[in-house]
A and B are shown apart, each in its own frame.
Chain A
Amino acid sequence: MNAPMTSFNKPWITSPDGFRVPYEVFTDQSYYDQEQEKIFRGEAWSFVGLEAELPNKGDFKATAIGDTPVIVTRDQEGRIHVFKNRCMHRGAFLVRESRGNAKSFDCVYHQWSFDLTGALRGVPMRRGVRGEGGMPAAFDMANFHLDELRVANLNGVIFATFSETVEPIEDYLGEEIVATVKRIFNRPIRILGDQRQYVHGNWKLYAENTRDPYHGSLLHLFHNTFGLYRATQTGFSHMDASKRHSLLKVRAAAAPTSEAEDKEVYKDVRSYNTEFRLQDPSILAGRQEFDDGSTLIINAIFPNLLLQQIANTLAVRQSVTYAPDAFEIVWTLFGYEDDDEEMQLIRMKQSNLIGPAGLISMEDGEAVEIVHEAVVRDGKKTSVLAMGGGYAESSEHMITEAPIIGFWQNYARYLGLTSDAAK
């Protein structure tokens, strides 16, 4: 077993040749347990769903923040609530369906009944039966309201937190991320479906992956083969002031790249083939949707959300943790309510890009798993994050790993690790 993390301070070092992360953060149960308390149940806003998933009063969905099961619901006044999915009596799941519509939440075990605002409304046999049994006189149903989380709704994107003290969502995200959310959720959306996949690796490997512009055109050969994204395109890699979140953005060929430059940049890259042609190029025949000309936005929001625009695929990806070596990715693809038929078809064709079999996302699950399996007994060894300089600064290019370092510095801060990383 690896040393407990309190005695661990050496490998989190920023040195001239890069920032190093010890692999035990991915494999040790002690880190996982600390993350649940200090991140997922700590000073952070976690994504729990989209308002469009709950169009009607009484609609609910079951999901999780980290590995804590929660219910997201819309009450009779239309307000969104998030509760722990746990009966206040003896701890059983209140909701076992992943979605539904309910007038109340009734525990199957002893049928304690909670209304949609979380208030306890019914306790069978509370006054006993034929004068026998029953709850004590001091029992007050008002003391058994469901454990309710703070909720923030930013343009229909629902976040929840266990913290009473975390800053308001706008301050938590920062101006540029708020603007990105508002830009994508600028009008009513239409849900197009969910995709779900178990990944046999640590959730933070995916947090790294989604803050990593360096891998974009190297792991995802579809990108450079078909010109959806190449490192020669213009873009930026920004972080918010706290560096928890990252915003990777590629602009449509503002400075057109030459084939000669492409060939030079990718000369060391396996199977880069500019001659490959699609039989059905309509998969890439999208529409320019946004005034800023961006074709690709990868916006990682700490700790569990990724908001993406890849061509005309708009999606949120939620990470749900299970164990140090297991998490789930939930993709929810959406368009807008006012999409015309052609636009709906464009989104469906391009949906082949994302998801568990996605042409530019299958490999992300693979990348997480091949790292996790390879490092499992090398907890004291470290990775190196050096591309772009090895420090967490925003840049006006994509050839960097800086946003990953921003994530780790915050991770160390949240967990209270004594290390250079927290400075």
Chain B
Amino acid sequence: MNQAASAAHSTAINTLQAAYLSALDQGDMAGWAATFAQEDASYYCISAENDRRGFPLALMYDDCRGRIDDRVSFVTKVWVGTYQPYRTRHFIQPLSCTAAGSNQYNVTTSFMIMMTPEGGATKILTSGEYRDLIEIQGDKAVFRSRRAVYDADVLPRYIVFPF
């Protein structure tokens, strides 16, 4: 079933994508977590190498809503003062959107993340592809699952924030 999203659903999905990028680019971890469904949500950030080889190991493996909330706490509470602050700027490009049952869509989007360390020049952090299951709940869309598959075989630095 390859149904195009209705105009209302398309708008909701675009709003969700913007909310996700906006939250991360402002360093708003709670805003990031708020883009996921309240129940039954997951976030995986995995290298293209592991993805291609069929290995489960991920950079971030948040297989339930509780761990998504915990990641917010790790970054905003546990790790405070530990990492050098850096800012990101995400750019995305839609690749595909297909219906996956009632009010759900499989959406793929390519991404590029620019990174600016405190006091440093802007560099490319990595690029990649989001593979999402997005659900329409009322008039808004949420991620039931987001899988960020990043291209870098070797990450250029340690990572604090989700992709």
Contacts and interface: CB of A to CB of B under 8 A. Distances in A.
B42 to A, nearest CB: 11
A57 interface: no
A214 B83 CA distance: 19
A195 interface: yes
Interface in A356-374: 356-357, 359, 362-363, 365-366, 369-370
A241 B153 CA distance: 38
Interface stretch (B70-78, B87-95, B100-108): B70-78
A6 interface: no
Contacts, number: 122
Interface in A196-222: 196-200, 219, 221-222
B61 A351 contact: yes
Interface in B40-95: 45, 47, 49-50, 53, 55-67, 69-70, 73-74, 77-84
A330 to B, nearest CB: 8
Contacts of B83: 362-363, 366
A194 interface: yes
B160 A362 contact: yes
B121 interface: no
Contact of A370 (B50, B73, B84, B157): B84
Nearest to A271: B80
A348 B158 contact: no
Contacts of B154: 196-198, 328
A280 interface: yes
A362 B66 contact: no
B60 A357 contact: yes
Contacts of A357: 45, 59-60, 158-160
Contact of B66 (A276, A278, A348, A356): A278
Interface residues of A, number: 41
B18 interface: no
A280 B144 CA distance: 17
A357 to B, nearest CB: 4
Nearest to B63: A349
A352 B57 contact: no
A192 interface: yes
A264 B65 CA distance: 35
Q: Which of A196, A225, A279 has the most CB of B within 10 A?
A: A279
B138 interface: no
A355 interface: yes
B55 A193 contact: yes
A283 interface: yes
Nearest to B44: A348
A271 B81 contact: yes
A239 interface: no
Interface string B123-158: 000000000000000000000000000000111111
Closest 7 CB pairs of A and B: A193-B57, A280-B66, A193-B55, A279-B66, A365-B158, A357-B159, A193-B50
7 contacts: A191-B55, A196-B153, A348-B63, A352-B61, A357-B60, A362-B82, A362-B83
